[in-house]
A and B are shown apart, each in its own frame.
Chain A
């Protein structure tokens, strides 16, 4: 990896919404995202020869070929990524790697997260975004269906709460410390015109007084599920040099996973982002101190504390103190984190929510952030899928 790998040169991102009143089929959403991202990159569609997607509801089998046909693309590189919340970061490095090995030259990375149009016989209008609670564990033969679901370990929040309970039992971390992650995320969201919580800043007291959902996690420490969409254009070095925006290179990446259910993690609070980050920094030849901007998957406050320490930005066990004592805001913070408000502030629009950490880092490095941080040259970005199970780390650098 490095500057011979692919560079991100264009993007688009839709404003997350609780209810999406413009339903689209997956391929229709991909077509609109592709047109917008290619416009941003000032690139002709005929230059695209790679597709990285996360599946399509309207073509559950043969998704890449169905999409290539729909978009009229002659594609040399075709990936379907299935890494939960880490899918978007996993898509980015696969696109860059495909270009580096010469499999293709320009890749569309597409994350539509919108509802399909209702079937003709449906009587209900568009509803709110909801994740099915069993997350695939109700398949016949699934160990999760036999050994987790009957006790109520479903969806995501109870699993993260399990990790939080153990972390807080052994480390210097209070609920107030974790609440600060949500407060700073909301602060940063005030700069983002697309943030679902723009106009709604919160305090530590607000977080502490919000409803307990799964001890010790409270409502304001948990992302709001939304609809939305995002896309990137990733291309080779020569094409990147004629792009209108500054190319952003994927100079390092790492990916690690060991388990689906947190019960069977090798260690509930030593997360896979440690190995993913070690690999990413080593590949990029970068030190932690060189990071100007962190864009960390923040499905819950505890996720951020664990990610900061496991990615090596502070000693193990001090993530809670770190988020409490450092200023994570875009405007004057000594450690700007999730300058777009994170998903806690912007909303979690499916895979586009995970992609928001990438799009924000790219915008910052290109100098077109909504809450622009001066001198953002090198960003640490990560994605977390499942229950602290699928972790991808990226180092993004300006050309």
Chain B
């Protein structure tokens, strides 16, 4: 589900399973689930997507990764974000393995390159905290 921030942008509605991810972001920690057999996974799930085991635990990730793919939204595909264009959407491959979708900030749009080194950063929006990445 999507809720909308006081500035109009879409925000996540955490579920009981995903709440620790968003709580971690509020503390400036990037949290990932880790399965004892299959390693880290993202996004948060009730069971490991490799073995369907439920004996995973939450661990703090390094926050480092690289830009796996990116685009720049020039038109505002989500009308709720059209006031923020142009902005960069990235697929980030984390050092721990999983990929995540996040905005790439703190970088000229022309300087974005597949493979560039990134580090996590956080932005508080109302009661929620968004995970973003910036060059390192």
Contacts and interface: CB of A to CB of B under 8 A. Distances in A.
A160 to B, nearest CB: 9
B77 A155 contact: yes
A162 B1 contact: no
Q: Closest 6 interchain pairs by CB?
A: A161-B71, A169-B114, A146-B12, A140-B1, A166-B69, A162-B69
Given A140-B1, A150-B12, A169-B115, A213 B74 contact: yes
B102 interface: yes
A161 B88 CA distance: 11
A153 B100 CA distance: 11
Given A139-B1, A151-B101, A268 B73 contact: no
Interface residues of B, number: 40
Contacts of A138: 1-2
Interface of B: 1-2, 9-15, 18, 42-45, 68-75, 77-79, 81, 84, 87, 89, 91, 99-103, 113-115, 130, 132
Contact of B130 (A137, A150, A214, A261): A150
A154 B71 CA distance: 12
Contacts of A216: 71
Given A152-B78, A152-B81, A143 B43 contact: yes
A164 B72 CA distance: 12
Contacts of A209: none
Contacts of A315: none
9 contacts: A138-B2, A145-B1, A147-B43, A150-B12, A158-B89, A165-B71, A214-B71, A214-B73, A263-B101
Given A149-B2, A263-B101, A165 B12 contact: no
B78 A154 contact: yes
Contacts of B18: 143, 146
Contacts of A211: 74-75
A158 B81 CA distance: 13
Given A150-B10, A158-B71, A169-B115, A264 B99 contact: yes
B1 A152 contact: no
A240 B45 CA distance: 49
Given A151-B101, A214-B71, 6 more contacts: A148-B101, A149-B12, A150-B12, A213-B74, A215-B70, A268-B69
Contacts of B69: 162-163, 165-166, 262, 268
Contacts of A313: none
Nearest to A216: B71
B100 A263 contact: yes
B114 A268 contact: no
Nearest to A164: B71
Interface in A151-200: 151-155, 157-158, 161-166, 169-170
Contact of B68 (A134, A153, A213, A268): A268
Contacts of A146: 12-15, 18, 43
